Amino acid sequence: MPQDFAKALGLTDYETKVYLALYRYGQLTGSQAGEKAGVPNAKVYSTLKSLVEKNLAIRVHEKPMTFRCVEPDKAIAARLDEKKAELETAAKNAVNFFKKQPALSRGEEILGKIELNIGTEQRLRNSLRLHQAAKKYYYMISPVNFTLPIYLVKARAEAVKRGVDERFIVSRLDAENKAEVKKYCQVMEMRLLKDPDYKNLSIYVWDDRKFIIVVIDPANRTKSLTVTIDSSDLAKAMKKYFLELYKKARPIKPADLR
C-alpha cells in the first residue's frame, strides 16, 4: 500500500499491515490476519476493531470471527466524505463566530480576537513578527504577486533553522513572480498549487494560535485588507484545511524556476 494512501486514511503501522493482509488474502480470521500481517496476537483484534470503526474492514462472521477489507476506492471515498464534513463543520463554526461579532472598523481590535489592517507594509510587519515568535509551525498559501522584502525571507530562513515547520504553497508561478518564488526556494521547500481561488487571496496559519486572511486589491497590489484572527479553534481548523491543500500541491523543482 503506498504510504500516501495509508497516511491519507490515518492508518497506524499495524492497521496498514492488517489492511494489506485482508486485501491480499480476502476473508481472514483474527489469528490468520495476525499471522499474514506479522502483527502480534495481542494486538491484532484491537487493530481489526479499529479498522472496522474507520469503515476500512467488515466483520463477516462471529464464530470464528472473520473479517474482510473494504475496497480501497470505497475506503478513500468514505475518508474524503469525512474530511469534507470536518471542513464544512469548521467553516460553519467560523461563520457563526463572525456573526456574533459587532461591526468592525479599520485597525479596531475586538475582544482581543479580531484585528483589521489595510496596507501591505503593516501586513508584512505582522508576518515578520509572527515568524520571529513562531515555535511550532508557520503555514502560508499566497500568489506571491509583489516584491518580497529581504527581511521577511531572512526571518523565514531563521525560523527553519530553529526547527519551525515552515510550509509555503504558491498559487501561481510565471515570469512575473518567478524571481520572488526563487528567493524562498533557497531557504525552504516550496509547493505549487495553481488555484484561481487564491489569485488575490493569501492565508497564513501560526502555531495553533492565529490565522490571517489577506485580500489583495487586483487593481493595485500595494493595497490589501488583512484580517488577523486570534482563535485557537479556528486556527486548528485552518491548519487542517491548509494541510489538505499541501497534499495536493507539488514541490517546485529547479526546472520550474528557469
3-state SS, residue 98: helix
- The answer to whether residues 231 and 96 touch, using CB atoms and an 8 Å cutoff, is no
Q: Mean pLDDT per segment of 10 residues, for the chain of length 258 residues? A: 61 89 91 93 92 89 89 76 64 59 44 66 77 88 81 85 90 87 84 81 87 76 75 85 89 88
CB neighbour burial string for 8-18, b if at least 16 within 10 angstroms, e if fewer: bbebeebbbbb
The pLDDT value given to residue 38: 93
Within the chain, all domains assigned CATH 1.10.10.10 are found at 3-74
The pLDDT value given to residue 5: 61
- The answer to whether residues 244 and 140 touch, using CB atoms and an 8 Å cutoff, is no
- Residues forming beta bridges with residue 58, ordered by sequence position: 68
Q: For residues 82 and 79, what is the distance between their CA atoms, to the nearest angstrom?
A: 5
State the SS3 of 117-136.
EECHHHHHHHHHHHHHHCCC
Q: For residues 127 and 197, what is the distance between their CA atoms, to the nearest angstrom?
A: 22
The number of angstroms, rounded, from the C-alpha of 140 to the middle of its chain's C-alpha atoms is: 10
Please check whether the domain covering 106-257 is classified as CATH 3.40.50.1100.
no
pTM: 0.54
Q: For residues 23 and 73, what is the distance between their CA atoms, to the nearest angstrom?
A: 12
Q: For residues 180 and 147, what is the distance between their CA atoms, to the nearest angstrom?
A: 6
Within the chain, all domains assigned CATH 3.30.870.10 are found at 106-257
- Residues forming beta bridges with residue 251, ordered by sequence position: 191
Beta pairing class for 109-110 and 114-118: antiparallel
The pLDDT value given to residue 108: 40
The pLDDT value given to residue 63: 84
The pLDDT value given to residue 31: 92
Q: State the architecture of 3-74 in CATH terms.
A: Orthogonal Bundle (1.10)
